[in-house]
Amino acid sequence: MGNYSEDRWPKMMAPILADISSQLRAALSTLHLAAGQLIPADAREKDPELDAKAARLDQSYYQLLRLATNLSLLSHLRQREAPLQLVDLDIVEIVSEVCAQAESLAHLRGIELKFDSQFKELVCATDRFWLEQLLFQFLSNAFKVTPPGQAVTVQLYQSNDKDGVHPYLAVRDEGHCFPTECALSSFDMFSKQSPPLSAPGRGAGFGLTLANMIAGELGGYLLVEAQPDSYTRFIFSFPLRKAPKPPKGQKGTVSDVPLDYTGGFNRVLVALADALPAQAFLLRNEG
């Protein structure tokens, strides 16, 4: 098992990423509007063959929207000047809800999504938006590489030692076939050991880099446990802590202003777009 905490994204990249993302969104908005006019929803409802063709178009749209979203998130993390507003939340509830939303999409890939928690409830300080984003990055990566008939397992568990209780959030897949040192390099798209962009299941390389940055923002770090030709488990070690109380006379902040880079589209489809088959984008599945 190894850990990875290095962040080699220079701050000067942040405004560049934001500009690229903005330009992508503008072009995508025009394309989506034109596609909706050429292939309206009522026509898709009446013609399954037309819906299947339109789904392939939507699949490409969602994949590009995911890329733009990840660029926006990377830029946001690099330009943040204030720390996250941490709130005491039930981690089990958050993770189980994400798994429930992604379960039907896993079935479309021919894989099973399992959730296993040692806790019935685990309340600690976190930021729901960013924790969900980290989990989605893990799931997208796992969905891509897990062959049909196999399973992806999301785990919440703890270890106990002389320093106390250490909670972990892990996603185990059964499709990776590279050793721990190469798995670690997946968190750094600039690494020479990182798999090439043309490798099966490999996207633009932002996802796990983004997960690593989010882990640090949430006060934790990432670990990898890999068995070549067997499985890989990506692990988020996070602090068990409570949200700080506001100074006397001040009201606490319930949460940050919500960040929504999905443009109102199904956020689960956007988050997992790179890992899903075209049938996930049939009209009945996009709601």
Indicate which CATH number applies to the domain containing 114.
3.30.565.10
**Looking at 84-88, 98-102, 263-267, which range is the least confident one?**
263-267
**Looking at 113-127, 214-228, 240-254, which range is the least confident one?**
240-254
Residue 245 lies in a domain: no
Residue 107 lies in a domain: yes
Residue 266 lies in a domain: no
Residue 30 lies in a domain: yes
Dig out the tokens for 129 from the structure: 């938006």
- The DSSP result for 138-187, as a single string, is HHHHHHHHSPTT-EEEEEEEEEEETTEEEEEEEEEES---S-HHHHHHTT
Residue 54 has pLDDT above 90, yes or no: yes
Residue 125 lies in a domain: yes
191 or 36, greater pLDDT? 36
In this structure, are 69 and 110 located in the same domain? Answer: no
In this structure, are 230 and 153 located in the same domain? Answer: yes
pLDDT at 198: 42
Residue 200 has pLDDT above 50, yes or no: no
Quick count: other Cβ atoms within 10 Å of Cβ 238?
A: 22
In this structure, are 228 and 97 located in the same domain? Answer: yes
pLDDT-derived band of residue 256, with 50, 70 and 90 as boundaries?
A: very low
18 or 103, greater pLDDT? 103
Question: Which residue is it, tokens 């106390």?
Answer: 164
Which 3 state secondary structure label does DSSP give 198?
coil
Residue 262 lies in a domain: no
pLDDT at 18: 83
Residue 117 lies in a domain: yes
pLDDT digits 0-9 by tens, 160-170 = 777 677 899 99
Residue 6 has pLDDT above 90, yes or no: no
In this structure, are 33 and 103 located in the same domain? Answer: no
Predicted TM-score (pTM) of the model is 0.84
- The DSSP result for 209-259, as a single string, is HHHHHHHHHTT-EEEEEEETTTEEEEEEE-----PPPPPTT-PPP--PPPP
> Where in the sequence is the domain holding 51, given as residue range(s)?
10-80+272-285
Residue 190 has pLDDT above 50, yes or no: no
Q: What is the mean pLDDT of the chain?
A: 83
CA distance 23 to 68: 9
In this structure, are 53 and 112 located in the same domain? Answer: no
Quick count: other Cβ atoms within 10 Å of Cβ 174?
A: 17
In this structure, are 145 and 194 located in the same domain? Answer: yes
pLDDT digits 0-9 by tens, 70-83 = 998 888 888 775 56
Candidates 148, 208, 204, 137; CA nearest to 175 is 148
The residues with which 171 forms a beta bridge, in sequence order, are 154, 234
In this structure, are 177 and 72 located in the same domain? Answer: no
In this structure, are 220 and 176 located in the same domain? Answer: yes
Residue 199 has pLDDT above 50, yes or no: no
Residue 3 lies in a domain: no
pLDDT at 265: 83
In this structure, are 162 and 212 located in the same domain? Answer: yes
Share of the chain above pLDDT 70, in %: 77
pLDDT digits 0-9 by tens, 116-141 = 999 999 999 999 999 999 999 999 99
Count of domains observed in the chain:
2
In this structure, are 189 and 74 located in the same domain? Answer: no
pLDDT at 249: 57
In this structure, are 212 and 75 located in the same domain? Answer: no
In this structure, are 62 and 16 located in the same domain? Answer: yes
Which 3 state secondary structure label does DSSP give 122?
coil
